[in-house]
Structure 1
């Protein structure tokens, strides 16, 4: 019996094809579309179905006569695929689902990169406590800060600092010292009457408060620290907006409550003021006369105070992560690169210091014989140049110390010798500048500018001593913070010692010894100098106090000033008459 295979059109083949088609359709319903890429997709991309998704092929019954024949291996079932439809010219590119995040052709958008990676914003919105802090500081700045220097500035700063500390918690020792310095500078607003002192103290107070909240110990950190509160104020705007949005609309009821309170205050306050004159005067003292300019000033002061307080709270919630402990890149400036320029400066300074020693030991006679000028003219002609030399040399030393190579012991030795010599010679130049200022004031007396510049020279001498100390170990991580700290201490000390009073006291004592005094210059001083000027005889006293006796800038209690109060008490015990005054000094002094 011959074995014959069934032809292609047999019923068995038709039923087998229909079964395979049904299996492919069921698998197509489970898997979905798969792009045609020239072959079956890998299993991890979802191209082939899992083994359990495909039904096993139906086994045909084995006929007895065909057992001896080799078994025919069935081909694996293919997954039905379909070509993606082309995008329409009138529509954007369609987005088809992918099997997973790692599927081929998936477009993953890049993660956003923050602008300042070392200063990330808070993840949540501003809490209600921050809004209260900003409100307290803003109201204090608007209603307590006066147009002139007075006690109101100190009270406004006290409210602002207290509100910030209420949110920030117990401060560290360093933060407490910086905040105390900020308040001490604001206190000069009611302790000193000189108009030039308060703007300087106000800026110093803002810098100290910013460093207190932002911190910093290196040059980069201290620069950010001085500007940190202002920058944080701008960055806090979306933070505050996010906090407000979570609380929903405020509603009209709080505004109605405030309006009713103001109406009741106005009605009953007016009735009580009309009932008693003393109470009316008291209310007039509390409520200043308001004009358009006053409203603008109050709004500006309040906005600045609230801005700074919220910025300080932002720094507490999101402090800047400046890596100040990381070592800086090693310098690449070789010894032969900087030895010649620094060596030339050392030789030049050494020659100048040699001539200064001859002047100091030779005295006035030596100067007049060699320079042909008086000792005072000689001192005046070179003081400002020596001041600029001291400042510029500090920059040269800082630049070379930063970029010079310090890997080997030889490089470190050369750096110590050259920069150390330059710092020591500059310290002698600072001493020469101070001696010139002393001789100059001996000839013409003290002025406020001379006192301030002499104090600056003393601070520069302290800075050079710290530079020499840091050069011994070649470690200056502590130096930037020490320079800022000593500068703040020197400025606060000068303001606390009352510079105008010191100048007036010295000039009055000099008049008692030499009968020489510049009453025109003394008349330009503020009420700070009045307790010293009342010691003068009647003629000189009247000329020195001819302007200050009519001066009165206080409008209400916020403008109260201790120096002005003391001056009024001093003027009550002496007579000041109208006189024609002429200064014995003429020309440039």
Structure 2
């Protein structure tokens, strides 16, 4: 096992997977294959996430009671409150697809759910261990395949072959009964036949291939999660920060010069602000050209601060004082730069309208500010093992809060308001998700012709494609009802 990734730190479970574990993983894979809509957000994503969490929980509580006694007995890992919170955050992120139809928002939620899943399974306190935790599910998915296979063919269990035959026979009899009586009942009542048609997919070649593809990947993913829960690796060594340190001047000189550079930039910004000899549109144009650079400065400074916290010595009071002075000043100046970036994107948005990208970068800048404030708080005691997890939790909370606020509706409400000579961009409004329809219909800033134009463009998109039970989504359902109440336009009048 030492030749595998992590070697001794991740030996894996000491026994093959139990039959209950294999059945739980197979059940979650079946739910994913039958209910996961790959082309749009829907309730099937939430159902799949719940099935996966239940399968991992069941696999964690089962014990192998038969077979030879293991040579090494490892204590079973306890599920802590922090891991439960990360698991709940994962389910909440997948639940966004049930209530919001914006594909870009749900894609972000799915990506962040991968991070929260890794933290729920493998944990991690420092940035190094969190990074490694994000890579472990991929290795666990590969290692889970032989682990689950050995669970199916475990020697020493009596009557296991007979049990398999009975399971297969039960499944065949159940399928025959459902097909036979379902066909009779469907032919007896048209409404039941329609409901059954929506529930049961068309059994074509593409459907069967999709079941195999999705089910296989889901089985590997859930199996890897069960593998991690059964035997998580020991990452305590990665959480230690007592590694090699550099001399105080090796880090203090470059970061001190960087602090002077930031101070000069802040001074120039203060002079420009107090002088005030610029127009709003002129400043908005300048904001557009410099916002991204300032965002990169803030993001890279966070990495510099993390590196300094890792390699700067802190054994004697002089070292700790130097850390507080230089890093504290640099963090404070970075906060001012972040505030400048936020002011620039705010002015630019007020002048040219709100878009998804501008809203996202504004949220990222606010998160940067929060992390910088955490750095200032952590500087009091120098050590802050809690900071990476709190920063990630704040980012997850911000994303969930953005989903609750309905960003496409916010964009629609902001852009329908007249600002100066800027015309309303009907084409952009028509490209928003169905989540924006309630805000558009409530607004009194659009003329009836403009509203019919935007609703007609939206009605030619995802709303026009019916949803089955797997892809049911509250945002699309509400949009269909509101559009139908206004004549159900299906034309696109925008250029």
TM-score between the two structures when normalised by the length of structure 1: 0.74
Distance in 2 between the 1:193 and 1:361 partners? Answer: 45
Relative to total residues, which structure has the larger helix share, 1 or 2?
Answer: 2
1:141 and 2:49 aligned: no
Q: Could you tell me whether the CA contact under 8 Å between 2:459 and 2:490 is conserved in 1?
A: no
Distance 2:170 2:318 in 1: 77
Distance 1:413 1:482, change over 3 A: same
* Counterpart in the other structure of 2:75: none
- Please tell me whether residue 160 in structure 1 is matched to residue 55 in structure 2: no
Q: Give 1:527 deviation, angstroms.
A: 0.4
The equivalent of 1:516 in structure 2 is: 423
Relative to structure 1, the CA distance from residue 122 to residue 577 in structure 2 (aligned partners, 3 Å threshold; closer, same or farther) is closer
Q: Map 1:185-224 to 2 at 5 A.
A: 185-224=93-132
Deviation at 1:171, TM superposition (A): 4.4
> Is 1:461 matched with 2:369?
yes
2:380 is aligned to 472
Secondary structure of 1:550 counterpart: coil
Gaps of 5+ in 1: 1-111, 583-589
Partners of 1:186 and 1:482 in 2: CA distance: 21
SS in 2 for 1:146: coil
Secondary structure of residue in 2 paired with 1:118 = helix
**Quick one: distance in 1 between partners of 2:32 and 2:492?**
43
CA RMSD of aligned residues (A): 2.4
Q: Which digits, 9 at most, give the CA deviation of each residue in 1:300-319, with x for residues without a partner?
A: 22223222222222223212
Cα distance in 2 for residues equivalent to 1:414 and 1:506: 47
Q: Name the counterpart of 1:529.
A: 436
Q: How does 1:483-502 map to 2 (within 5 A)?
A: 483-502=391-410
Report 1 or 2 for greater relative contact order, CA contacts < 8 Å, sequence distance ≥ 6: 2
Q: In structure 2, what is the Cα distance between the partners aligned to 1:320 and 1:142? A: 30
Deviations 1:239-261 (A, max 9, x none): 22222222454665543443333
How far residue 577 of structure 1 moved from its aligned partner, in angstroms, is 8.0
471, 478, 483: which one pairs with 1:559? Answer: 471
The correspondence of residues 87-486 of structure 1 with structure 2, limited to 5 A, is 113=2, 115=4, 116-147=7-38, 148-169=40-61, 171-246=79-154, 247=157, 249=161, 252-324=165-237, 327-363=240-276, 365-366=277-278, 374-486=282-394
Question: In the aligned structure 2, how far is the partner of 1:550 from the partner of 1:326?
Answer: 52
Change (3 A) 1:579 1:261: closer
Using the TM superposition, name which of 472-481 and 558-567 deviates more: 472-481
Q: 1:403 to 1:558 in 2, by over 3 A?
A: same
Moved over 6 A (4+): 512-515
1:53 alignment partner in structure 2: none
Deviation at 1:326, TM superposition (A): 6.3
Report the CA distance between 1:329 and its aligned residue: 3.0
CA distance in 2, matches of 1:402, 1:294: 52
CA distance in structure 2 between the aligned counterparts of 1:135 and 1:579, rounded to whole angstroms? 46
CA distance in 1 between counterparts of 2:209 and 2:482 reads 37
Partner SS, residue 559 of structure 1: coil
Residues 211 and 228, structure 1, Cα contact 8 Å, conserved in 2: no
Distance 1:326 1:191 in 2: 38
Q: Distance in 2 between matches of 1:356 and 1:426?
A: 13
Q: 1:555: Cα distance to partner?
A: 3.8
